[in-house]
Structure 1
Amino acid sequence: MKTQNGAFASTGSACPKKATELFFVTHPMVLKALLGPFLTEADAECGRVVMRSADAHVTACLVDSIDDITRWHGVNNGRVCRAFAGADRREASHG
């Protein structure tokens, strides 16, 4: 895409990324999410396993878009919870 002066428009970090859902780990005894955001339900499920509580569950929140910081947190939270849940080791052994 070109702007009026002929220069190409930036498509870097200023552009928000599209997403339909963010996932969180919640517990009925706590008013706000315990873990999250996560970009995938599978990552949030790993977070729920890490919580070691039968009452913890995964909830989803619909969003129009997410910014780069939220995306980074979602990716990072997923990596950390997969590592603690042992999901990375299971994937590596099957891969």
Structure 2
Amino acid sequence: MKFENGALAPAGSACLKKAMTLFFVSHPKCAKPLLGPFLTAADAECGRQVMRSDGATVTSSQAELDHFTKWHAENNGAVVRVFAEGVRNG
């Protein structure tokens, strides 16, 4: 670190980043994924079932995973699991 204008210069990012595969639910009529990110393909599959669309597919891509994205992916997975259980039971 070095001092510039009396301020301490940051040594790096405060966010932990890790390359990881994230899963999404896409549809051929849309350019961007409709649901996601998800940490697991199983959660993305639940999202596909919740959409109830024959054209929906699970896709994946490599991305850097920071704390914010990880939180969203975990939250998205929990939400679609709850909705998928409702679709199966009702």
TM bucket (normalised to shorter chain) is 0.7 to 0.9
Richer in strand (by share): 2
The superposition leaves residues 5-39 of structure 1 with CA deviations (integer Å, 9 ceiling, x where unpaired) of xxxxxxxxx34242420000000001101000001
Q: Which residue of 1 aligns with 2:85?
A: 86
Tell me, yes or no, if the aligned pair for 2:20 and 2:65 is still in contact at 8 Å. Answer: no
Q: Say yes or no: does 1:16 pair with 2:45.
A: no
Unmatched runs of 5 consecutive residues or more in structure 1: 1-13, 88-95
Aligned-partner Cα distance in 2 for 1:31–1:40: 22
Aligned residue type for 1:55: G
Deviation >4 Å, runs of 4+? none
Tell me, yes or no, if the aligned pair for 2:26 and 2:33 is still in contact at 8 Å. Answer: yes
Q: Which has the larger radius of gyration?
A: 2
Identity %: 60
Q: CA RMSD in A?
A: 2.1
Aligned-partner Cα distance in 2 for 1:44–1:19: 19
The superposition leaves residues 44-89 of structure 1 with CA deviations (integer Å, 9 ceiling, x where unpaired) of 00000000001000000112x31111000000000000000018xx
TM-score by length of 1: 0.72
Tell me, yes or no, if the aligned pair for 2:24 and 2:37 is still in contact at 8 Å. Answer: yes
Aligned-partner Cα distance in 2 for 1:68–1:28: 30
Aligned pair count reads 75
Unmatched runs of 5 consecutive residues or more in structure 2: 1-13
TM-score by length of 2: 0.75
Q: Which residue of 2 aligns with 1:76?
A: 75
User: Mapping of 1:53-64 within 5 angstroms?
Assistant: 53-63=53-63
